[in-house]
Structure 1
Amino acid sequence: MSVKLHGDVEQPCNLLAFWVLGFINNIGYVIMIAGAQEIAAGGVGLVYFFDIFPALFVKLSGPYWFQLVSYRQRTIMGAIWMLLSFLVVANGKHSLWLQLLGVAFSGLQSGMMEATFLAMSSFYASPVRCLTCWSSGTGLAGVGGYAWVAILHIWGGLSFQTTLELASVFPVLYLVVFLFLLDTSKLPPARTCNYMPIPDSSQDKDAVVAVVTAENTKDKLKNELEKGEESLVFDALTMEFKAKVKFIMTLGPYIVPLTTVYLAEYTMQTGVWSAIGFPVDSKEARASFYSSAGLAYQAGVFISRSSGVLFQATRPILYLMPALQVLLLVFFTFVAATHFWYNWGLLSLCFVAGLLGGAVYVNAFTLLSRETPSSHVELALSAASVGDTVGVMLADCAGLFLQGCLYSINHLPGATISVSC
């Protein structure tokens, strides 16, 4: 892998491709979440679990097998999983477990391909610009997914089944953009599409033999050595499992902020915001605030995820933003319990929550790409992507508890779990 200069100019077609791929990659996940009540009205938590747990599994395991499957093969597999997710959920309406299987396909696709495209950015001239375009696309997917369901199903009157079947166009576009818009010549062939092994010591490093299996990779290596850059392409299959684990454990400064900010913001969404309404005892009022808060949040996410080339957070700022998100969680919980500030002005802080969440996402990955040695960036970006998914999983549990507690305080029926507070 060549050393990247973060100021390098990237081809516009590649930047557009990363943006579109980010949008399409996440829109299936959002559509499933937006239609969770259509899939399992009495068990929305099940839909969240079957969408998130497969993504967590593939992100945790991916760094240890991704090198065996080329980027092209993974993209084709992801498109197939996305198509299956829409068709299985759409045609399994008489079987909850069949629909949940379809939701699981969506989770597998979004999880594997997020890790894949984050890692893929390391092969392009400007990883920061590619990461920013990817992040911006994923940010807009939050709005796009809800809009797809609202426009076609809620306002347009189409059945949820038809809404999902029409979404089958997205996996087709996924492949078209990857195969015909993105410059995939920058990606290594299947046998060399691997992560760079991290030698356990300087002695091990000296003993490693470079394995180059493609002529273009030889040329890149030769050019880098002529420039005096230290860059060797190693065979990732020779890297020991414990060496990968050892390296991934060093990514805590990037993973922990991601986990923390997602834990806080998704706890707000799944637990706290559902217990706010004007008046709170009106189910319709609570639903209205929840949907409005979600829209304000998604708008903030899109704006901040698009800011990667305009602002690069330092580590202290990266750590400060999750702390502020936790303070917002505490604030909204206090508001839901006491009603001390109880009006639509709260939406401004929902927007701020989106800004913080999106900013941590894009800045964690762009900072990682800047601070990590070039030979390690591919593995690092893929492995660090687990942070947001872990945060969402933890938030599902915390959100259920907080919702039950706040429903109890406000004497509201209908909490998923009963908690006395």
Structure 2
Amino acid sequence: MGGCAGSRRRFSDSEGEETAPEPRLPLLDHQGAHWKNAVGFWLLGLCNNFSYVVMLSAAHDILSHERTSGNQSHAVLLADILPTLVIKFLAPLGLHLLPYSPRVLISGICAAGSFILVAFSHSVGTSLCGVVFASISSGLGEVTFLSLTAFYPRAVISWWSSGTGGAGLLGALSYLGLTQAGLSPQQTLLSMLGIPALLLAGLLWYIVPLVVVYFAEYFINQGLFELLFFRNTSLSHAQQYRWYQMLYQAGVFASRSSLRCCRIRFTWALALMQCLNLVFLLADVWFGFLPSIYLVFLIILYEGLLGGAAYVNTFHNIALETSDEHREFAMAATCISDTLGISLSGLLALPLHDFLCQLS
């Protein structure tokens, strides 16, 4: 029995010796993860400090509205650093209570908002507000991403640091190069909106279709409904508008409640169909070819169905296709889609509505 036990032990030892090379597979996985982490933190450092550097590079152009102050660029420096200082002072007191996901989302929105605000500004005060947004983005992002390095190998700190240095070089160089190439400061700043978008790049597959869907449907609702007026019906103009709104909301309710019986993976198709709705109804406003209001009723009900389906399926797809550790951030980041689409439609629907009213 002892011999058998010994042979079993020796057999087990030999098995261990034969299978000793197996840890190489985890080693390969570890090497792959190392480079993913390295590239990821380098890009985070780049994106985080990019707007901060660009605002300093654009200081002279930002203050060009002011003619009496000597065009002193230190005002931009203060606006670009004081909010970061406040964030770093307050961060140890309670920032840990706010999850990482909304912090990253706020940082990305502030970075994009800084470029837009400064690009379209016509006063120094507004421009400096844009610079403050860049500072908030940079400060909040730095505190957040440096805290995240605690959950990764120590080497990522070096890559993060290198990325922030790369932001300094690439930010200043890109602003110099684009303005030297003939772009105005406004065009240059707007062209840099892609950098904050890198923070959400992996989610654009979900975000963009939902933005497009909501842009198209609210463009229809608030820009075209009042112009889709039929005189050959007993309904007054106000009653027609109320019916349009009710049918739209009925479609939204039905499709948002339909996930158990109808699931759609490719929400881009819904975005395309909603855009076709917009083009079709815009053409009817222009040419007036639909003979009956009941056809418009059907189209508007269909519009609501598309909008509700896009909403529920987008978040359902995120729940299915993202990992547990990324799901919270993905949900929080994608929440901006409907609001962004509605806001853009409001900006464009108002002038178009007035233009079409003048034509009629």
Range class of TM-score, shorter chain = 0.3 to 0.5
Higher alpha-carbon Rg? 2
Give TM-score scaled by structure 2 length. 0.46
Larger RCO (alpha carbons 8 Å, 6+ apart): 1
More helix by share: 2
Normalising by structure 1, what TM-score? 0.40
